[in-house]
Every structure is written in structure tokens, then in C-alpha cells.
Chain A
Amino acid sequence: MTERREVWITGVGLLTCLGDGLEATWNRLERGDPPPYDDKSFAPYIVHPLGPVNFDKQIPKKSDQRQMETWQRVGVYTAGLALSDAGIAGKPDLLDHTDMIVAAGGGERDIAVDTAILSGVRKVNQPGAFLNERLMNDLRPTLFLAQLPNLLAGNISLVQGVVGSSRTFMGEESAGVDAVRVALARIAAGQSELTLVGGAYNGARWDVLLAFELGNVLLKGKFAPVWDRGPEGGIAFATMGAFIVLESREHAQARGARARARISQVYSDRNMRQPGESEAALRRQWEAIADKVDRAHAVIISGAAGLEPATSAERHVLQGIGLPVRNTATYIGHGVDTQFMANLGIACAVIEHGKLFAPTGSGDLGESPPGLSQAIVTSVGNWRGEGLALIERVD
């Protein structure tokens, strides 16, 4: 094997309820603005919808926008932000060897068609025949392409011109962590120079809420910070997009690109969330990086989602580590496959500004250390998905 190469984050694209772009999100985090959430549209559930966004800026053709559903538009837009930030956008010579790993679920449905079918199908004698007839007549042909998980990547190739390679990982938060882990490993081993990694999620829709209400994991009624939602706590889903560009140091330096941060380690694992397993997994991952952490200058960006007992388990591990902690989901909600990349993007801003943003809730601990140079980003998913990354300032 060749030596492990250094990998930089040279671009971040972020679209959250806090704003369009990493800086917009950072500015509101830094001020500690009250998180924008919507407890009316999907009552009793609480979601974090996007603010205004002009998709034309990254997806100029309306015909392209029409071929996508919201999650894909959000993803293609955010991928464009990341490529622009990295100085790759619109440069075919670079896009030609830009690889891509997307974490996605997809499956955005036509709620009106489903509702009409559900109303009709229960009144007929031959439900199977009725279903066929309505699906054949009522489904938009292109809706399928807006539902396929890999068509987020497909649309990024089409609109943004990323054509090196394309892979889509499925599996909720684990998919996000593994997408970054595999992208890092490939570049570190010389299998890629430049990889766009990210995802997009539209949590402000009834089909998502239905899928998660089946497991009783949704935040209902009154909003509270993720740490303080109590034993009946739940997740406030979000609409968000997050992409990061990973690049070998050599490749970045050769083209004069600047590093937002170095990404040194990513860990993921499998556990079945038996009592104590989530906590043990996070502890194992922390122990794997502990000797690389400069404790005087390191902070933790937590992926706590607000669901118990996982959130309390994470709080317990983080308290034991003793570094300053900030969670993001109180501000931006939870974006499942996308959350880890969003938190890596926010961690880049923390590193670049050399300080933490305002605390929210009882699990946010400590103050910014002087000379902040490392951020540990955690993931604790809605169901699985324990993961951890270490990113560092490039001096």
C-alpha cells in the first residue's frame, strides 16, 4: 500500500432553515438566534422547513427543476454551492475526474395521487385492478426519476457536470457517515483525487412523517433543545442540503485551492442499539482518535437528534470526554442522511472562525478554547448510525 495521503475539505455547500450557504448558517448560529421551526403546517409535529431560496442560481434551467422533486432540487443546489466554494464549478477539466458519493433515501411521493387512490380503492370490489388503473393513469412518468435515490447524483451530473464517478449509499445516518468514510479512504489511498460527498433531505412532507410516526420518534407539541426533550423526546425533521468537497492536499495545492480544514479520521460501525450499545460504540470511536486530539484546542460538534435514550447516551459519553460541546440539530433540525455532512460543514466554519457558536440546551457545554484547531463531529442517528470524524485546522 502507498502512504496514506492528507485529505482536505476544499468546499462546503449548505442549505438549512438558517439560510442559504455556510456563512448565512454560521452567522445565525454565532448570534444564537432562536431556531426557526414550523409547528403549524404538520401539527402536532414540528419541522424545520427551508427559508426562501432561489434555485435558479444553481439550476438555471426550469426544465431541469421540473424534473426534480424538492429533495433533489435542494441537493443539486447545495452541490453547486460546494463546487463553487471549492473552485471546481464550471471547470470541465476538474469535473471530469470529480468523483461523487451521495447519501440518499429518496422516495418522495405524489401525495395527491396517493390520497386519491386511497379514497377510491376502498370502495371497489377489485382493489388490485383499481390500483393498476389509477397508477397507469395518474402517476406522472417523470415522477419515478424524482423518486430514485441515485437520481440526486444523476441530476448533479446533469446540471453541475460532475462525471468522474457516481455512487449512492442508502441507510439513513449510517449512509452519510459511510459516504464520508469511503470518500476519505479512497483519496487517502490514491484511488481518487477529488470527491464530492453529500446529501439532501426533505423532512417537511407527510410521507416522511408517516414513515417515522410508525416508530414513534417524532417531536410533537412543544419545541425544546435536543438535550432537553425528556424521555418522550423526539426528532424535529428538517429540509436541508449539505455537500462537502474532499481533495488530496497535492491536488488542492497544485491548483491553488485553499483548505477549509483537514479531515483526518472517520469512523462508523454497526450496532443494534441494545441497551448500552450506542454509548459503547461512541466511546470506542472516541478512543480510536483520542491520542490524536489536542485537548486544549479541541471541541465537539454533536449530531444528537433529540431521540431518547440515544441522546442521553451521547450526552453521557461527551460529558466524560470533557471537551466543549455544541449540538446543531436544535438550530437546523435533523436531516437524516444529510446531517453528518451538514455538521462537518458547520465544523469547518467553527475551525475557520476559531470559535464555537452559541450554546442551546443543557448538553451544550463549555466555552471556545483559545486557539481552537480541532473539531470532533459525532453522529447518532434516529435508529442506527453512530459515527465520528476528526477535522483540523490547516496551518
Chain B
Amino acid sequence: MAVSSAAPKRDKAGRPIIAVTGMGVVTSLGVGKSDNWAKLTAGQSGIRRISRFPLDSLRTTIAGAVNDVYQDYMPPAELSERIALLAGDEAIAEAGIGTKGRFPGPLFLALPPLEIEWHYRIAMADSAKLNEDAGYPDLTRVAREPQFAPIYESLKYGIIGEHLAVHFGTEGSPISLTTACASGASAIQLGVEAIRRGECQAALALGADGSLTPESLVRFSLLSALSTQNDPPEQASKPFSKNRDGFVLAEGAAALVLEDLDHARARGARVLGILEGCGEKSDSFHRTRSSPDGKPIIACMRNALADAGVGPEDVDYINAHGTSTPENDKMEHLGVSAVFGEHIRGIPISSNKSMIGHTLTAAGAVEAVFSLLTLEHQRIPPTINHNVPDPAIALDVVPNVARDARVRRAISNSFGFGGQNVCLVMTREPA
């Protein structure tokens, strides 16, 4: 690092300040920041009828698929890796950090779990040449036939991280993680913590989810988590509306180059924003539902504000988790009302998921990028499909149309199955 005569910049707690110097994003709206931002602030939806597989017997037939990237029969592992790579390349190019194929820091990667695909299982059952029942022992008997060899590495939970670490040239052991729908935010938090510890001066945080398959759709469907208002697809995701009936499954990826502010300035990098604080709190109430008193999500947001060293009155915008499920939006309303008190009436809160659906593992990273773009452009993306307000939710959800506003600081919420909650606090570059 360049020797500087200036004293190192530190936050209120005496820690390195975490700058964001590069961002990349892929969603159903498109590939890249500029395309996504233009469509997001135009209130466009990326939700479409699913074209990837047959829809017979399914209650939900819509999704926010990354159709710009998907190619026929691409398995989720390959699609997730592809969109992670696109987002990461965009972020690193913008940051202009390191040299080609050598990123000077670790990789934290939020990913969906991987499994053997059905078409492979079926191919193995065919190969076992059984006319009747084909069980796992039969599949195992033919598993070493050469045509199945490529499946082996694709099933390693670490393989995408390894491929990406090689591609980006990140340092050390790449960490692949999941905290369900909070995963993308957890990846950012791990990067922030590593820089604060002084282990590194830069980190690459990535979240990617390209796992739209019949089985993933069925799994969420059986938990009654998905919207079944399939027609028209663009209007299904309606966070905070009275007629909301579930989330829309979606794919996406986002990457953030996190960097010690001193390091960024020393190399003359453009600072896109500051990752000022992170908060977590787990919920011990239920596997899929929030504690009815909202205490864990309230504590999560308060932990994030405390970590940033700011108060509720310092927040100008809330990027909601806002899934469009009856449960989440009610609990998030309860949570933000408790944390922000009377201030909440003056704080716009919008849900990107109204347009891109719920990108699951990637959501925390995707929505952090959109929050930082909100700060950069001083323009708040809307909550679309807000035609039937829920009288029980008295929030300024930036209904239907984007809004120019003075936004000095934003928070982004991520609440996951399994009670894993993360909140991020972001602000603009300090003087």
C-alpha cells in the first residue's frame, strides 16, 4: 500500500472505513448495473411465465428468471456460476482493482445448495437397465460409468467458489455460505469484518442464485410461500399490498468490491458508497415464521444502526426485505415501526422484489447494490403493483413510481428461513 502522510481514516469505533468501489448485478431485468437501474427506476417488472420447463400440475407458473443468460438445460450450478462471474467481472472492472486475474483479497460467496439434477438421476436409472424399480443402490452401481464422471465435481459445494476464485484470482480459501434469504447480506458482512480485522484491504462479496427448477419451485410452493396470481405475471409481486399472496421465485447475482477507504483513496479509486454497518440477530421462534413480537428483526436493525454508530433519525431510506408474503410484510412493518418510531412516517421504504421477485440467496447482495445506486443517483426505485394498499401497513412504500429524494443513508433488510436476519447500513462517501 502506498505510504500516505495523512492519518488513517477510521469510523466512530476506530475501525477501517469500508468503501464500495465496484458493483455488478444480473437479474431478470437484465445484465449489468445500467440496464437494471434504468428498468428498476422505470418501474418495469422482470417477472414472466416460466419457459424453462413444463408447468403441468404447478400452482405457480411464473418467476423472475435470468433468461438473458440461461441456455437450454443449463443446470443451476452452472447458471449460478455464470451469473456470479458476470456480476463479479463487472464489479472488478468498475473498481479497477488488482491486475487481470488477480484480485487482492478474499472471496465471500453466497450460493444455493447443490444437488444431483433429475435428468442425471434419470440417465443413471436408464443406464442401470432396469425395467421396474430403480433405487439408489442401482444408480450407485452405474455411477462410475464414464459418462457420469463430470457430475462428480459439479456436486461439490466448494466447486463454484473454486472456479470463481481461480477466475478472479482471489486470495486464500474462498468461503461459500448460506443463510437462506439473508445469504447475500451475510457475504457482505463477512467481507466487512475481514477488512475491519485488518486481514485484508479488499474483499469480493458475491451472491448468486440461478436455481429455478421444478423441484425448487415445488418446495417453496408446498410451503405456501409463493404467489399463485400467475396472470399477468408482472403484477404478481405486490409487497405491502392488501392482496399480496406470496413471493415470486427469482434468480439473480450481485457483486461488491469492498475496500478499506484509505486503500481506495490511495490508489485513486472512485468511491461508490460506504458500507457503514452490519447487524444480525437470529430468531428462535419458528423455522419459517418470525417471532410475533418482531423482537429478532427489531434487534437486527438496531444492531446494524449501532454498528454504524447512527440512530434511527439518521436514516433516509429503507430498502425493504418486502417479499410480498402476508407474513413478511406484516412483520417488517411491525419491525420498522418499532425501530424508527415516529420517524417512520417520513422515511420512504420500497421493495425491489416488486419488480425482480425474490432472488433468494442473491437477494441481500442484489438489494445492497440497488441501495447504493439509490444513494448514488438520489432516486428511489418504487414498489410497483401497489394498487390496493393494506390499511394495516401505514408506510410510504414509494408506490408505483420512482422518486427523486435526498438520501444520505439507507438500510437494507434481509430476513431468512431458519430465523437468519441481517441488516446493512450504507451511506455516501464521507468528506
Residues of A within 8 A of B (CB): 1, 67, 100, 105-107, 109, 111, 114-115, 117-119, 121-122, 126-129, 131-133, 135-137, 139-145, 147-151, 153-155, 157-158, 161-172, 174-175, 177-178, 181-182, 185-186, 189, 191, 206-207, 209-211, 213-216, 268-270, 272, 383-385
Contact = CB atoms under 8 A, between A and B. Distances in A.
Contacts of A383: 153, 156, 158
Nearest to B287: A145
A214 B284 contact: no
A281 to B, nearest CB: 10
A19 B327 CA distance: 43
17 contacts: A107-B113, A117-B118, A133-B57, A136-B57, A145-B288, A145-B417, A150-B416, A151-B418, A161-B284, A166-B179, A166-B282, A167-B420, A168-B177, A170-B158, A171-B175, A172-B156, A182-B175
Interface in B164-204: 165-166, 172-180, 183, 186, 190, 193-194, 196-199
B210 to A, nearest CB: 16
A154 B418 contact: yes
B282 A100 contact: yes
B125 interface: yes
Contacts of A127: 122
B35 interface: no
Nearest to B141: A213
Given A118-B121, A206-B137, A211-B116, A105 B157 contact: yes
Contacts of A207: 116, 136
Given A153-B282, A163-B282, A163-B283, 5 more contacts: A122-B125, A132-B57, A143-B219, A147-B219, A172-B156
A154 B113 contact: no
B419 A154 contact: yes
Contacts of A170: 111, 113, 157-158, 176-178
B401 interface: no
A176 to B, nearest CB: 11
Contacts of A272: 162, 166
Interface stretch (B62-70, B126-134, B344-352): B126-134
B258 to A, nearest CB: 16
B116 A131 contact: no
B135 interface: yes
B264 to A, nearest CB: 18
B388 interface: no
A129 B287 CA distance: 30
B276 to A, nearest CB: 16
B214 A166 contact: no
A67 B287 contact: yes
Contacts of B186: 167
A179 to B, nearest CB: 9
B287 A155 contact: yes
A169 B175 contact: yes
A202 B142 CA distance: 22
Interface in B37-64: 53-59
Interface residues of B, number: 81
Nearest to A192: B193
B149 interface: yes
Nearest to B218: A135
5 closest pairs, A vs B, by CB? A154-B418, A171-B158, A206-B136, A128-B54, A129-B56
B266 interface: no
A148 B125 CA distance: 25
Nearest to A133: B57
B82 interface: no
A164 B113 contact: no
Contacts of A191: 193, 196-197
Contact of B176 (A122, A133, A165, A175): A175
A384 B152 contact: no
A214 B155 CA distance: 10
Nearest to B281: A163
Contacts of B179: 150, 153, 166-168
B158 A174 contact: yes
B55 A115 contact: no
Contact of B287 (A100, A109, A121, A158): A158
B325 to A, nearest CB: 15
B175 A178 contact: yes
A183 B141 CA distance: 40
B133 A165 contact: no
Contact of A141 (B178, B190, B222, B283): B222
A40 to B, nearest CB: 13
Contacts of A209: 136, 140
A107 B417 contact: no
Given A163-B284, A214-B155, A215-B152, A114 B417 contact: no
A211 B197 CA distance: 38
B394 interface: no
A209 B137 CA distance: 9
Contacts of B296: 163
Nearest to A123: B131
Interface string B285-321: 1111000000010000000000000000000000000
